[in-house]
Amino acid sequence: MYFWMSSACLKCAIELEIPDIIHKNGQPISISQLVSALKVPPSKANFVKGLMRLLAHNGLFSIIESNNIEEESEVAYDLTSASQLLVSGTNHCLSSMVQWALRPTRLEMYHQLGKWVRGKEKTLRETAFGVGFYDFLNQNPADLAAFQEAMSSDSLFMKVALSDLESVFEGLNSIVDVGGGTGTTAKIICEAFPMLKCIVLDLPEIVAGLSGDTNLSFVSGDMLKTIPHADAVLIKWVLHDWGDDDCIKILKNAKEAISGNGQGGKVIIIDTVLNEKQDNHELMETKLLYNIILMAEFDAKERSEEEWKQLFQKAGFTDYQLFPILGFRSLIVLHP
């Protein structure tokens, strides 16, 4: 019942910038050094020690035993592959994703999960705040900014993933990033493929005031109504926010958008695929937890490969390829 404390302590470590401090130190850091760098009152030193002990137990930091002859033996802490993802200024920093996941307004509404289940409101946010997700963001600029920053940081992983995705983008002259936000993913694609024209499609309030360049442009619109024509359509971490009927509409619009490509266009989807037979326990738990979030906040869900296949067929696609290469998300390529 106290698992929530792990998340609270993770958020605390990010707010204290502990991963950055260890990274800048260039070597494992002792508790006394960390307390000094944090500039916390001496009375909080024991808490810092307990915090690091817990987070190291959870795999966020590694414990390094040191025995300096001139000093008393003291435990030191170093970054692990997990905490390296929290170092600011890198192209793989996920700190803003953690901050978004643990926004006070978000945690507050989950205290009303039982009330929502018994009630008639479509989403948990409507039960808690009286409005849906996007209306809530429009009414709360700080939450909107936190959400956009989180989505941008997630998109930075495209830099890491592109080494495995080059063949997917090769041969294309144009691509539309559906729900592409402020264009982080599109900019990364443009950098990797300078000859590729990228169009970012999102709601007017998202793309208002954004300017592109020769290879990048922003278009305001509604993916449920129409998607600009291009050789390919990218739909990254979008479809799982929508119910089946809306997903079919989006996919049909995507199919229409690539229909003018004589060489045969493609739709590139990056999203989660449930696979209880192949996923390990921790990976499947992450997917199932996110499934709860989607059901409560969007009246949507994560899908198995069979469920994805049914959507593709109903949208008129005859062929797809699935590659589970992006952590708890997969790459799916659709062909008309």
Q: Which residues are catalytic?
A: 240
CA gap 176, 170 in Å, rounded:
15
Buried b (16+ CB within 10 A) or exposed e, 260-273: ebeeebbbbbbbbb
Between β-strands 29-30 and 329-335, what pairing exists: parallel, antiparallel or unpaired?
unpaired
Closest CA to 304 of 271, 281, 268: 271
Nearest to residue 250, comparing CAs of 259, 262, 238?
A: 238
Residue 301 CA to residue 297 CA, distance in Å, equals 10
Strands 29-30 and 74-79: antiparallel
Alpha carbons within 13 A on the beta-carbon side of 336 = 18
Torsion angle of C-alpha atoms 122, 247, 325, 7, degrees rounded to 10: -10
Of residues 151, 209, 212, 211, the one with CA closest to residue 185: 151
Helix, coil or strand: residue 232: strand
Instruction: Assess contact for 199 and 176: CB atoms under 8 A.
Output: yes
